[in-house]
Amino acid sequence: MIKAFKLEWLKLRHYKVFWIILSLYLLTLLVISSAGPFLLQWLKSQGADIEGLDPTLLPIYDFPDIWQNITWLAGVSKVLLSFVVVISVSNDISYNTLRQNIIDGISKKEYIMSKMMLILFLSILSTAFLFAAGVINGLIYSNVYGVSYILSELEFLAAYAYEIIIFCTMTFLLSLLIKKAGFVIVILFLYSLVFEPIITMNFLYNPYLKDTMAVYAPFLPVNAINSMIPVPFPKYILREIEDNVPLSAVLISTVWMGIYTFLISFILNKRDLK
Amino acid sequence: MTDILRIDNLNKHFGRIKAVQSLNLEVKAGQVYGLLGPNGSGKTTTLGMILDVVAPSSGTFEWFGGKANVDSRKQIGAILETPCFYPYLNAIQNLKIIAHIKECSNHRIEEVLLQVGLLERKTDQFKAYSLGMKQRLSIAAALLSNPPVLILDEPTNGLDPQGIAEVRVLIQDIADQGKTIILASHLLDEVQKVCTHFCVLRKGEKLHEGPVSDILGETNAVELVSDNQNQLEGVLKDFKGAVDIHPEKDQLVLELADGISAADVNQYCFEKQIVLKKLVTRKNSLEEEFLKILKEHDQSI
């Protein structure tokens, strides 16, 4: 495991693009997790009110609700983090270093392991970063204090870590299939932020489709991992609280994870590296 | 001698194209084995299969008498065609990755860079290298773990004449240390100069195999030049030891009967009061042999 991680580390530690993308993502996490008060101010200045309530009074940074709120927001921007995986894999393909690595003496399994260690590293790093950002913002803005509140509902952070792992594994598979980094990035953007959300909406709400297709919506790959952290904001309007990580979404996502890893190893073992 | 590599009935088909057909090969310890063939004859595909980056359609191969492939590859320094490195890393950083994969220490990095003449450029990024320097770095990478077996695919590609000569000396030095080398090349001269054994591939089929020394050697043909070629030709027509005589450009080529040597020709001409300006016994070259092998197989098809 350490050997696999070190291989990836040697490849990336002097690579500027890697550090730039990683810093941009962490910066994005910081902005997203601390922009709440400004956003609510802006809503207020636009004259918005929530059932007669001043939006700035919404307790979005209260422990433990903060965890669901910021992990959901951070999940939206995960596609940016996955670019690290895209460049790492497509570099190995375009520079032909994947082949050279194998020739030099690693197995394809060890190669996959090195990329999975990178993904695990990205997931742990961004989860830790998000946790720190959450604690700091919460200590500033939360109306509720106490270690027991801070440390409850941390399952959303675990769900976020898992979401990153699965999404990046999907990215790994796409990079192997498509090979060109630019293409993969465009497709990731379009599919995860445009196509699949539209397909999901159609399955759920299109009057001609919803009767037959709505049951399939939870099985769509990106929708499944997104659903591990339910959209938190309705609770402020409907007061109907969905503040658990839904087990069904975790199970469906795990099945997708299995499919991705199977396909990755199938493709690498089958493909001639030329 | 122990078996380094054994290939049994190896095949590779890309769709309808048969890149390698029923190939059998054996490479023994200490041999410098040349894999010869025109472009597209299956040399690189064969090397790709024995290095586990191309999946064989059928057949088997075995390294070091049956050692696991991943462990075997750590014992092999190999370059296939173009040099493959991370362009944003410098020579040392790139070689560190290889040392990590091969589980050998970093202390030989400077040594191999010196060996290939890249030490002064060791902190330059790979992308700033010329083709010749890239090629040198891949040779350095192959030498890094001091492996008992080297696989070199067109190692002098892209090098200038001086670089080619240096690489040849390097290969010779390595061979003299008792290492086994498998060298794929279409440069026959290169193979003739460094290899002990060779095989000829064409369209994925092995046409010929044997020691290089078997085919190099003297022929029965002698090249002659004197001040008066017409007179020389007239005189030589009466020479008993001649089988055939024909002019070739500004020289005469004399085919000698068995048992007749160039010395006999010289003696005969001298007696006839002709002084020869040139008297050379023709030698076989791998190139002629190679073309002959290809031609024989054309006819037999």
Which CATH number covers residue B209?
3.40.50.300
Contacts of B93 in chain A (CB under 8 A): 10, 14
pLDDT of residue B174: 85
pLDDT of residue A8: 95
Point out which residues pair with B254 in neighbouring strands: B222, B245
Kind and range of the H or E run holding B109: helix B109-115
Contacts of B86 in chain A (CB under 8 A): 11, 15, 91, 95, 97
pLDDT at A51 over 70: no
Instruction: For residues A178 and B4, give the distance between their C-alpha atoms in angstroms, rounded to a whole number.
Output: 38
Instruction: For residues B96 and B110, give the distance between their C-alpha atoms in angstroms, rounded to a whole number.
Output: 11
H helices of chain A, in order, are 2-12, 16-34, 36-45, 65-76, 78-94, 97-104, 108-141, 147-150, 155-178, 181-189, 196-205, 210-213, 221-226, 234-238, 247-270
Q: Which residues have a Cβ under 8 Å from the Cβ of B143 and sit 6 or more positions away?
A: B77, B112, B115, B116, B150, B174
Residue (of A25, A28, A89, A75) closest to A192 by Cα position = A75
Q: In terms of pLDDT, which residue wins out, A47 or A91? A: A91
Residues B68 and B122 in one domain: yes
pLDDT of residue B77: 93
Q: Is residue B24 part of a domain?
A: yes
Residues B181 and B267 in one domain: no
- For residue B235, give both structure tokens: 């005189």
Q: Is residue A59 part of a domain?
A: yes
Say which amino acid occupies B168. Answer: R
Say yes or no: B17 contacts chain A, CB-CB below 8 A.
no
Point out which residues pair with B107 in neighbouring strands: none
Question: From the CB of residue B115, how many other CB atoms can be counted at a distance below 10 Å?
Answer: 18
Helices A2-12 and A78-94 sit at what angle, rounded to 10 degrees? 90
- Quote the minimal CA–CA distance from B86 to chain A in Å: 7
Nearest CA in chain B to A17: B88
pLDDT at A191 over 80: yes
pLDDT over 90, % of chain A:
57
Positive/negative CA dihedral, B259, B263, B268, B271: negative
Residues B257 and B207 in one domain: no
Positive/negative CA dihedral, A96, A102, A106, A110: positive
Q: Is residue A211 part of a domain?
A: no
- pLDDT tens digit string along A140-151? 888 877 788 888
Locus of tokens 């598979």: A173
Q: Which residues have a Cβ under 8 Å from the Cβ of A135 and sit 6 or more positions away?
A: A150
- Quote the minimal CA–CA distance from A177 to chain B in Å: 17
Residues B168 and B28 in one domain: yes
Contacts of A110 in chain B (CB under 8 A): 70
Question: For the sheet containing B17-28, what is the strand order?
Answer: B17-28, B3-14, B58-63
Contacts of A21 in chain B (CB under 8 A): none
pLDDT of residue B1: 59
Residues B173 and B253 in one domain: no
The total number of structural domains in chain B stands at: 2
Mean pLDDT to the nearest integer, A76-88 = 94
CB B153 within 8 A of CB B47: yes
Phi and psi at B272, nearest 5°, equal -85, 10
pLDDT at A237 over 70: no
Point out which residues pair with B249 in neighbouring strands: none
CB B103 within 8 A of CB B74: yes
Positive/negative CA dihedral, A245, A128, A169, A70: positive
Three-class secondary structure of residue B181 per DSSP:
strand
CB B85 within 8 A of CB A95: yes
Q: Is residue B236 part of a domain?
A: yes
Q: Is residue B127 part of a domain?
A: yes
Residues B34 and B169 in one domain: yes
Q: Please report, for the domain that includes residue B275, its CATH number.
A: 3.30.70.980
Q: Is residue B57 part of a domain?
A: yes
Q: In terms of pLDDT, which residue wins out, B300 or A260? A: A260
Contact yes or no for A107 and B74 at CB 8 A: no
**Best residue of B88, B145, B152 to probe chain A, by most A CBs closer than 10 Å:** B88
Residues B22 and B167 in one domain: yes
Burial class of residue A143 (count of CB atoms within 10 Å of its CB; 0-12, 13-18, 19+) = exposed
Residues B265 and B165 in one domain: no
Q: Is residue A25 part of a domain?
A: yes
Residue (of B36, B47, B38) closest to B12 by Cα position = B47
Question: From the CB of residue A6, how many other CB atoms can be counted at a distance below 10 Å?
Answer: 15
Q: Is residue A252 part of a domain?
A: no
Contact yes or no for B84 and A96 at CB 8 A: yes
Say yes or no: B68 contacts chain A, CB-CB below 8 A.
no
Instruction: For residues A230 and A156, give the distance between their C-alpha atoms in angstroms, rounded to a whole number.
Output: 10
Q: Is residue A135 part of a domain?
A: yes
**Nearest residue, CB atoms, A104 vs list B54, B55, B102:** B102
Q: Is residue A265 part of a domain?
A: no
Q: Is residue A204 part of a domain?
A: no
Three-class secondary structure of residue A60 per DSSP:
coil
Nearest CA in chain A to B147: A104
Instruction: For residues A2 and B172, give the distance between their C-alpha atoms in angstroms, rounded to a whole number.
Output: 39
- pLDDT tens digit string along B103-160? 999 999 999 999 888 899 999 999 999 888 898 899 999 999 999 999 999 888 878 8
Q: Is residue B33 part of a domain?
A: yes
pLDDT of residue A215: 87
Instruction: For residues A204 and A213, give the distance between their C-alpha atoms in angstroms, rounded to a whole number.
Output: 7
In Å, what is the CA distance from B251 to each residue of A182, A224, B15, B217, B262? 64, 85, 52, 22, 15
Which range marks the domain in which residue B261 is found?
A: 218-283
pLDDT at A165 over 90: yes
**Percent of chain B as helix, strand, coil, to the nearest 5:** 40, 30, 30
Residue A240: band (very low, low, confident or very high) from pLDDT cuts 50, 70, 90? low
Q: Is residue B292 part of a domain?
A: no
Residue A44: band (very low, low, confident or very high) from pLDDT cuts 50, 70, 90? confident
Residues B210 and B224 in one domain: no
Instruction: For residues A41 and B50, give the distance between their C-alpha atoms in angstroms, rounded to a whole number.
Output: 66
Residues B173 and B232 in one domain: no
pLDDT over 70, % of chain B:
99
Q: Is residue B290 part of a domain?
A: no
Three-class secondary structure of residue B203 per DSSP:
coil
pLDDT of residue A14: 95
Point out which residues pair with B6 in neighbouring strands: B26, B62
pLDDT at A213 over 90: no
pLDDT of residue A115: 96
Residues B168 and B278 in one domain: no
Mean pLDDT to the nearest integer, A192-203 = 92
Window 229-258 of B: residues touching A by CB (8 A cutoff) are: none
Mean pLDDT to the nearest integer, A182-193 = 94
Contact yes or no for B73 and A96 at CB 8 A: no
Contact yes or no for A3 and B100 at CB 8 A: yes
Contacts of B52 in chain A (CB under 8 A): 102-103
Q: In terms of pLDDT, which residue wins out, A251 or A40? A: A251
Which range marks the domain in which residue A146 is found?
A: 2-193
Q: Which residues have a Cβ under 8 Å from the Cβ of A219 and sit 6 or more positions away?
A: A252
**Nearest residue, CB atoms, A10 vs list B70, B73, B97:** B97
pLDDT of residue B204: 86
pLDDT at A160 over 70: yes
Contact yes or no for B80 and A103 at CB 8 A: yes
> What residue ranges of chain B have pLDDT lower than 50?
none
The total number of structural domains in chain A stands at: 1
Residues B86 and B122 in one domain: yes
